[in-house]
Structure 1
């Protein structure tokens, strides 16, 4: 009798991420990116991720709230990283130094994934590493960055994942981005467990957009337009006719249409429809309302008409939106031949000169938690 050979499946090496801190970085956004990694390790009961904070010289660096953070290492310390994420904040155009640009370009030559949170995309763009890529940045910087870096495909979405580049806006958006990546690396069950631990009702996806205040777009020069949009937002369930809207602000319908076309680049009816469909999307994702009720709450007289408009605007029908859609895997980069000897099977281990990762310390402290190793990760999973 021939016995089947026993194959030993060694767990995948931890995914190693370096967080490059720019002066005046946003501490809130950094925490939103790191905490999901910590919790992933805790729930899995092993080190799926490890992370390092970095600065030019390794000296303490000040966050936008005035607190100082002592990084794990300087840029000169050789670390084996899978991904580098730039953490920006206030005044990214003043915070990016030549040393940052040179180092980021060296990481790109090593075929490492590059990312950014809050305003960190500015640094990647300045280094020429976002040309031809879709990218997200905090809405305050959207206009300035588009003007400074026209080759970057900027989007108002909360976060963007485009090939080997990831970027998110500020606040809690990095949490959504990291949960999406964790789901792709290790499955939805782990991402759902992390969401529960952080009392996160819904993980926002790549198609969710930042809510950019219209006042920021228009300034204070168009008070009538701001008033009309406010009326639209307050009357989504029972839409107001365009003639009536124009009367409210003492304009003719033709003047109203010209105002929207000039400043918002669309017809007022189209803008109104966008507001109603965006609200419908929120209800589909955040409530248990039936599709009929959602359609009614957003001013649609029939479900078929609502479904048709929704599909045309978002590319999927409301039913599929509620169920969720499958996204492609975020695959690791392919190394160039000249770099293959640098990043081999033990690439995820820090080189001898590297500092210990705080991920190990956090994992040790979590061993007594009731949720430790509560989510089973299949052997061989991971990036």
Structure 2
């Protein structure tokens, strides 16, 4: 572990050891987490499902994730970060091993939904634990490294999965289950509980305060500035989800193999591995909403470019463009989410934020499979248009969001946070 931190040098910014164990668990898990990435091809090639049915089954994974992030957020605040991480990873490992031997499409759809729950539960706990142990001044670097580890793992997973998918889909699920189990062991061994269970001070009476202990999910779900940020993140997530849900079907229609798809995904991960560590120097000191707007513009250009891509070089070039956007967006997205969340509701805010990803994982294949079938290449132009709308949204929503963050930074820690619904 010391060698890893020494290799990163100043980029690591003196991050605590607990962060590095969380980082290592995430990396190992991602290296093996490629089974769901190839689920559309598994369903169509090995189980005889059509494109629309495959989209719906993959959508069940995203639908399960909606319940998973809500459950994970509540458990993160009540049960603890460590316990939530442990049991969600252990459950995901068992479910993935079961999916390896099940052949019935209805059973696969049910398992996909359950895996979606188990895969989404750790998200709020991971981020809440990082925010718990990393000082605010170093969180941008921590989230940048978290995103780097995620994509380093995905790069290795995609390259390996492209070969395994052509040899054995059974191996895909079993290796995924094994990697998840290794992550469970790391968390159980090295990650302590980071949730501080101190009794909150009684807030002064007044119309602009609510007891955060009682607010629960109501507080983030009535926080208009936070929900605007979540909606824009959802739009970006729908665009990004095309990579793992609709693009494999489009590449197959263009006569490209599973290994070609694995190469495209691996290139994006490899580019992030090389370039993500330089992102802090590009975005430090810049206003977050402008960075996010730039990221959405690049995503729009990249995915719209697939309308004219019909060979591997075209897909690789498009992937390069949208990957730059993803690299720029990751740190400010995580920072904004942490800045807007009251400390005692950190898990719940993370849960609502993380809803965007399973929701996108449901919407993207469910609508994208039908859209690709009937619109053809016009589907990618519609995805690009969505990116431009989200770009405009960030430019409009950014200034009031920054004013909220500045106001929260001056709120005394001993009182409850302002009621989000009452904030102009």
TM-score, normalising length: structure 1: 0.26
Q: Would you tell me which structure has more strand in proportion to its own residues?
A: 1
Higher Cα radius of gyration: 1
Question: Which has the bigger relative contact order, CA under 8 A and spacing at least 6?
Answer: 2
TM-score, normalising length: structure 2: 0.24
Q: Would you tell me which structure has more helix in proportion to its own residues?
A: 2
